[in-house]
Structure 1
Amino acid sequence: MRRIEQFSMHGDSMSASNAYLVTALVSAYNAATFLRPCLDDLLTQTLYKKKLLEIIVIDSGSLENEGVIVAEYQKSFQHIRYLRTERETVYGAWNRGIGIAQGTYITNANTDDAHRYDALELLAAALNKYPDADIAYAHCAFTNRPNDTFPSSNSYLDCLFPPFNSALGMFYCLLGPHTVWRRTLFSKIGAFDSSFAGAGDYDFQMRFIQAGLQAVLVPEILSLFYQNPSGLSLSSNRTIIESREIEAKYRVLIPIDRLYSVDPTNAQSVADAWVEQGNLALTWECAWEKNPPKDIAYAFQCYRKALEVQPGHYPAVRNLIMCLAVQGKWQACDYFVARYPQYIDLAEACARQNILTLISGNATPRICSHLVFTDSLTTASLQEQPINPLSLTEHRNNLGRAFSHIQKAINAINARELDIAFDELENSCSYVEGDAELQLAIGILMLGLGKPYDAQELLLRAYTKNPETEGLRTCLNYIGDRAKGTATNSIPQSLLDMALHIFGDLEYRAVELPTAIAPQLLAGAKAAHNNNLDEALAQYGKALEQVATSNHFARPLQDKFSFIHSIITSSEPEALSPVSISTFSNAVLSDVSRLCRQEDFETYEYAELCRELDIPQDHYERKNWEYYFVAQALREENLLKDGKMGLGFGVGKEKMISYLARHGCAILATDLEPDSTGATAWIDSNQHSDSVRDLFLPGICDYETFASKVQFAYVNMNRIPEELQREEFDFTWSCCAFEHVGSIELGKQFILNQMKCLKPGGIAVHTTEFNLSSDVLTVETGPTVIFRKCDIEEIAESLRKDGHEILLNYDVGGGELDRYVDIPPFLSAPDKRHLRLLLGKFITTSIGLFIRKKV
C-alpha cells in the first residue's frame, strides 16, 4: 500500500530558526566514492559562500564510511548536518530530510551528479520572483562521468525541458532530476511516497498536476546528470513498472481542466481538450528522446472520453478509428463506423482499409499557463554578485529562447495548421512576460486566429501592468465590440499596423537586425493583408536569406514576422490540416484493472452491450458492469472474432457465453462438478450449469451457431486440469467467481494458475469482490471472500514476478451512485441501483482485473 507522509509546514519567510534560503538533501547509501566530490560541488555553490545553503546528508543504513567522511567535512565547514537511519528508499530519506530542513526552499543533490556553481541561487531566485510557483527547475546535460564538472567534455546530450506543461506531464517526468521545491509545497500535497523504489518523483509530479500547482523553468543548463548504468533510473524494471502504474492511476484521477484551460461545463471545449490530449499521446516528444513510444492505448482512452462528453464528436471518432487502423484492427474499425453512419468518409476509408491521418479538435484548447524565469544570468555575468536586473544582452538571450518555438510555428503556418501555430505563439510569449507592447502585438495576432478571449486574457494582464501602453485600450474595446456583435469580423488596419510597428521596433531594439530587410518585411505583411500569400512568402524569404548568417537571433524573429501573414489573411481560423503519424510502437490497446463506476454505465459501449444482451440500459447493476468490463477488454484487444479461443471459469448461466459465440469465438465454458463441496448452493439458486444446453440463452444468438462454438467441461478452479494448462487459449475470463473458491489465498493461486492456460501475449479478464471499507479487516475464508487492496497488490506483484503485465487503478468514481450503498435485502427492480453494497460489515463493489501474459 502506498504511503504519502504529511508534513506541517509554516510560511516561506526566513526566521531565526529558518536561516537558510535553500536546504540540499544528500541521500547516501554505499556512496562513499561519490560523497566527497558531491560535498565539494555543494560547497562551491554561491549560496553556500553567502551562508544561505544548508546541507543535510541522510545515510540510509549504508555499509560504507559516509559518516566518517561527513565528520571530516564538518570540522572545516559549517552548515553541514548528518543523519543516519535504517535502510530505506531514497524517497524515505528525502522525507526525513524535509522534516528537519531549515531552508525556505529544498532540493535534492544526487551523490554522483553535479551543479553549475550558481545553479541553486538561480533556482531560488526564480521562486523568489514567482510566488505562485512551488517548484523551480532547469535544463541539464547527460554525462557519462560521475561527479563531472562544468564546463564538461564528457556530456553528450543537452536535456532541454519545456516550460511546465501539465498535459505533457502525463507522459514523463518533465521537472528534471534537480528541482528546487518551495518548503510549503509539502503541506499542500504531502511528501514523497516512500514505497516507490525509483518513480516517486513521477508520482509527486502527478499529485502536483492534480492540485493545479505551478512550476517555473530556468532555461539554462544548470546541472550534469550522470547516466549511471547500475542506478535506479537505468537498471531497474521496477521503475518502469511503477511509472506505468502511476500513469494508469492519475490519467483517470486528473480532470481535463487541470491539463487545458477549458470550462469543464462546456461539452465542446472539454471534448476538444480530450482530443488534443489524445493527439499529444501520439505526437509527444521527450526532453531526451525525440521519438518516444506512441501511447496508443491512452490516446484511445482520450478519444473515448471526448465521445462520452460530446457524442458524435467527429475528430474523436476519426482519430479513434485511426488508432485501431494503424494496428490492423479493421473489424473494430467497422464497429465504430457502424455506430456513426453519418460519417461517410470514415466508412469509405475503412472499406478500403486506408489508414487515416490525425486531426485536431474543432477549437484547440490552450494548455494551462506556464512560467519561465527570465532573470537567469550566464556564468560569465554572475561572478559572485547578487542577482541583477535584466541587461540588454540578457533580454536578447530571452528573445532567442522565446523564438525557439517559432520554427515549428512557421512550419505549421505553411501547412495551414493554425491551431498548432497558436500554441507555439503562446509558448514564445511566455518568455517575454511583462512586456506590455509585445503582449499587445501578440494579442492582435490571437484575434486574427479567431481567439478573442485568449487575446483578452493576455491584454488584460498587460493593461494591469502598464495601462499607458498605446493601443491596449483600443484593442480591448474592439474585443468588447466583437462580443456585442457591433464590430466587423475583420481586424482594423490600424491594429495590424500597430502590431507590425511593435515587432519592428522590438527587432531594432533587442536584436539589431540589418535595416535593409525592413522593406521586405513591410511588403510581405501588406501582401499578406491583401491575401497575396505567394508574394508574402516571397518577401519573407528574401528577408530570411539576408539575415540567416548575419545575426544569431535574426532568423527566429523573422519567423515571428512571417507568422503575421497567415493570421491576417482570414477573419476566421482555418480548419486544421491532418498531421501524419509515421511511426508507432508495438503497444496495443488495452484496459487497466479498475473498480466498477457509474460513468461506465453511461458510455456508448455499455449501451451497445445492453442492446446485444437485452439488458435494460438504466439498470445500474454491477453484474452488468462485469459483463461490460470483460466485453470491452476483449473488444479492444480484437479478440471478438472467428478463430479466437476463450476459456471461462465458473460461468453458471451468465450471458457472456452466448455473446462470445455470437461474435465467433470458440469457447470452453466450465463450472464446478455437481458433487463438489459448495455446488449445492449454486444448483439450488439456478446458477449452475452442467451442459451446453444449460448455457444457451435465446435472443442473443441462434442455437445452431451457439452449439458449434461452445463446449462445456467440469472444472474445479482450485485444481485446473493439466490438459487446459498448455497455452492454447487466446483469453480467459470469469465474472465474480474466484471469490468463491474458499479463501483469499486460494483466489490468489487461481489467478496465477489460470495464466498457464493462455498463449503467450494472451489476455485474462476476471472480476471479483473488492473491499471499500478496509485494507486490514475483511472476510478471508468461506463461501464468499472479499479482496482488499493489499490482496490485489499482492496478486499483481506475483504476476509481475512471472513476467506478466497488470496495471491497477483504484479510482472510486465521482457519480452519485458511486456514493450510494445498497443494503439487504437486495431487490430486483427496473430502477435498481446496485454498484455498492453492504456485505456483513463491509461495503463492497466489483473490481475488474486485466492481465496480459508475458510473450
Structure 2
Amino acid sequence: MTKAQFTFCIPNLNKIDFLPACINSMLVQDCQAWRCVFVDGYSTDGSWEYMQQFANDPRFTLLRGKRQGMYADWNYCLEQVNTEYFYFLTSDDLCYPQLVSKTTRALDHCPDIDACHFKFDYINEYDQITRTYTDIIASEMPIYLDASNYAHRRAALFEFLMHCVYRTIYRTMTSLVLRRSLISQVGPFSTQVGSAGDYDWTMRLTMHTDTLFIPETLTAWRKYEGQATQSPHSVGNNRRIFEIAKANLCQIQQGSEASSFGPALDPTLTLSFLSRDYEFALYNQIHQATNIANALDALLQATQAFPLHYLQALLKRLGLSSRQSCLTKNVLAKQLIQNNQLQWPPLPLKLSSTEDTTPSTQATR
C-alpha cells in the first residue's frame, strides 16, 4: 500500500442521509494515498453503525467525539493528523475525484505555501448543482472574480484584510487543503465562539502563510432545508465576528507578526465594515423589540459596544441597498490594498511546465 500523505478529517453528527455519498466521494479519489479520521459526536441516526463496515480498513480511524461541542471534535481530528496534508470534509458534503491529486501536486510545487484554496459548487440534497463558484463569487466577493480564472498566490496580509471586509472569504472549510505544519502554528479551533470557530481559525491561518489558489472545482458544499446554521444577521453572530477580527488585529499589532505584515494597520478603517454590520444588528434588535424591557436591554448592549454617535448614524446608513453595500465593500477592499501596498490582481502562477492552470470542467451531476 502506498504510504498516505493526505488525511481526510470527517467530523459527523447525525448526517446518515448524506454520509454514504460523502464517504463514497473519498473512496473514488484518483489518488489513493490517503487516510481518513472519522470523529462521530454520538450520533443517534445510525451514522456510527454505518461506519463500522470500515473498522478493519487500515486507512480508517473511527473515533467517538469529546461531547464538548462541534469544534472540540474538529480539534480531535487535528490531533490524529500524521500526514503532510489534511482536509476537513464535513459529512454532508462531497469532494470530487481529483481533490487529493490536484491539491497535493500544487502544494508540492510551492513548498513555502501551506494552504491551497480551490473552487466549490453549492449542491442540494439530491446532489444537484444549484450554484457555481463563479456565481457565488460574482455576487458575494466580486474582487476575487477575475483572479479565480487562473492559478495564483495571495499574500497573507491580503487574505487577513479580506476577512475583515468579506468575512468568510473561503466560505467553507471544505475549499481548503492544508499542510500539517499549520496545526502547531495556528493552534486548535476555539470552542468559545459558537459557529464562528472556523472564521477565527482561518483568520489566524493567514498570519502564518500565503494562500495558493488553483482554478479547479474540487468539492461541493451541500445547502438544504433544515440545515443547522445561525443567521449571519443576528446580533450574536455579528458580535462574535467583530470581536474575533478585533482580537486578531490586536495580536498582529502587538506580536511578532507585525513586522512581516508591513505597514501599521488602521483599526478603524480595517474593521469598519464588521463594526457597521454589528451596529446594524444592534439597531434592528432595538427597533424590533416587542416590549420595553427587551428594547432597553438591546440599547444597553449597543451603548456598551459603540459610542453613541455610531448609533445616531445608523438611520442614514440603513438606507443602503444590498448592491450599494457590496460596492462599498469593494471600495474598502481596494482602499486597504492600496494603503498596504499590496499586489492585486495577483500575477498568474504556472505550477509546472506540464500542468495547465486554466480551470477544469466538472461534469454536471
The partner residue of 1:165 within 159, 163, 173 is 159
Q: How does 1:794-805 map to 2 (within 5 A)?
A: none
Give the direction of change, closer, same or farther, for the CA distance of 1:153–1:166 in structure 2 (3 Å limit).
closer
The partner residue of 2:221 within 225, 228, 240 is 225
8 A contact 1:57–1:82 mirrored in 2: yes
Distance 2:223 2:84 in 1: 30
Q: How does 1:347-362 map to 2 (within 5 A)?
A: none
Q: Give CA-to-partner distance per residue, 1:366-409, whole Å, 9 cap, x none.
A: 23899888467xxxxxxxxxxx7335xx36x38xxxxxxxxxxx
Which residue number in structure 1 is paired with residue 244 of structure 2? 246
The partner residue of 2:266 within 263, 274, 282 is 274
State yes or no: 1:365 paired with 2:333.
Answer: no
Distance 2:245 2:271 in 1: 15
Which residue number in structure 2 is paired with residue 175 of structure 1? 170
Which residue number in structure 1 is paired with residue 11 of structure 2? 27
Q: How does 1:117-128 map to 2 (within 5 A)?
A: 117-128=97-108
Distance 1:156 1:293 in 2: 30
Q: How does 1:124-523 map to 2 (within 5 A)?
A: 124-145=104-125, 148=127, 152-155=128-131, 158-160=135-137, 162=144, 163=154, 165-171=159-165, 172-177=167-172, 178=174, 179-209=176-206, 211-234=207-230, 239-255=237-253, 264=263, 270=264, 274=266, 278=269, 281=272, 364-367=339-342, 374=349, 389-390=353-354, 394=356, 397=358
Give the residue type in structure 2 aligned to 1:68.
Answer: E
Distance 1:126 1:20 in 2: 17
Distance 2:117 2:251 in 1: 25
User: 1:324: how far off?
Assistant: 9.9
Distance 1:296 1:92 in 2: 27
Distance 1:86 1:154 in 2: 35
Give the direction of change, closer, same or farther, for the CA distance of 1:40–1:235 in structure 2 (3 Å limit).
farther
Give the residue type in structure 2 aligned to 1:218.
Answer: I
Q: Give CA-to-partner distance per residue, 1:103-162, whole Å, 9 cap, x none.
A: 21111111111112112322222221222222212122222336x2xxx54336643474
State yes or no: 1:102 paired with 2:82.
Answer: yes
Distance 1:263 1:93 in 2: 36
Query: What is the RMSD of the two structures over their aligned residues, measured on CA atoms?
Result: 4.1
Give the residue type in structure 2 aligned to 1:44.
Answer: V
Q: Give CA-to-partner distance per residue, 1:574-623, whole Å, 9 cap, x none.
A: xxxxxxxxxxxxxxxxxxxxxxxxxxxxxxxxxxxxxxxxxxxxxxxxxx
8 A contact 1:260–1:366 mirrored in 2: no
8 A contact 2:122–2:131 mirrored in 1: yes
Which residue number in structure 2 is paired with residue 552 of structure 1? none
Distance 1:191 1:372 in 2: 32
SS at match of 2:62: strand
8 A contact 2:86–2:177 mirrored in 1: yes
8 A contact 2:189–2:197 mirrored in 1: yes
**What's the % identity of the aligned pairs?**
19
Q: How does 1:752-763 map to 2 (within 5 A)?
A: none
Q: Give CA-to-partner distance per residue, 1:673-703, whole Å, 9 cap, x none.
A: xxxxxxxxxxxxxxxxxxxxxxxxxxxxxxx
The partner residue of 2:63 within 67, 77, 83 is 83
Q: Give CA-to-partner distance per residue, 1:289-324, whole Å, 9 cap, x none.
A: xxx996597xxxxxxxxxxxxxxxxxxxxxxxxx99
Which residue number in structure 2 is paired with residue 45 of structure 1? 29
User: 1:39: how far off?
Assistant: 0.5
Give the direction of change, closer, same or farther, for the CA distance of 1:263–1:25 in structure 2 (3 Å limit).
closer
Distance 2:129 2:170 in 1: 25
Distance 1:121 1:389 in 2: 17
SS at match of 2:191: coil
The partner residue of 2:42 within 48, 56, 61 is 61
Q: How does 1:585-664 map to 2 (within 5 A)?
A: none
User: 1:88: how far off?
Assistant: 3.1
Distance 2:130 2:314 in 1: 41
Aligned residues: 290
8 A contact 1:106–1:182 mirrored in 2: yes
User: 1:41: how far off?
Assistant: 0.8
SS at match of 2:178: strand
8 A contact 2:118–2:213 mirrored in 1: yes
Higher relative contact order (CA 8 A, sep 6+): 2
8 A contact 2:66–2:73 mirrored in 1: no
User: 1:25: how far off?
Assistant: 0.9
SS at match of 1:225: strand
**Unpaired runs of at least 5, structure 2:** 145-153, 280-309, 317-330, 360-365
SS at match of 2:97: coil
8 A contact 1:104–1:182 mirrored in 2: yes
8 A contact 2:242–2:275 mirrored in 1: no
User: 1:253: how far off?
Assistant: 3.2
Distance 1:195 1:240 in 2: 15
SS at match of 1:138: strand
8 A contact 1:21–1:104 mirrored in 2: yes
8 A contact 1:218–1:374 mirrored in 2: no
Give the direction of change, closer, same or farther, for the CA distance of 1:87–1:26 in structure 2 (3 Å limit).
same
Distance 2:68 2:5 in 1: 27
Give the residue type in structure 2 aligned to 1:208.
Answer: L
TM-score relative to the length of structure 2: 0.65
Distance 1:296 1:194 in 2: 21
**Unpaired runs of at least 5, structure 1:** 1-15, 265-269, 283-291, 298-322, 330-356, 377-387, 399-855
Give the residue type in structure 1 aligned to 2:177.
Answer: V
Q: Give CA-to-partner distance per residue, 1:63-101, whole Å, 9 cap, x none.
A: 2222221122446x5512211134232221121122122
SS at match of 2:118: strand
Give the direction of change, closer, same or farther, for the CA distance of 1:372–1:165 in structure 2 (3 Å limit).
farther
Give the direction of change, closer, same or farther, for the CA distance of 1:33–1:259 in structure 2 (3 Å limit).
farther
Give the direction of change, closer, same or farther, for the CA distance of 1:118–1:244 in structure 2 (3 Å limit).
same
Distance 1:119 1:109 in 2: 11
Which residue number in structure 1 is paired with residue 307 of structure 2? none
Distance 2:346 2:82 in 1: 26
SS at match of 1:88: coil
8 A contact 1:203–1:246 mirrored in 2: yes
8 A contact 1:193–1:200 mirrored in 2: yes
TM-score relative to the length of structure 1: 0.30
SS at match of 1:185: helix
8 A contact 2:186–2:208 mirrored in 1: no
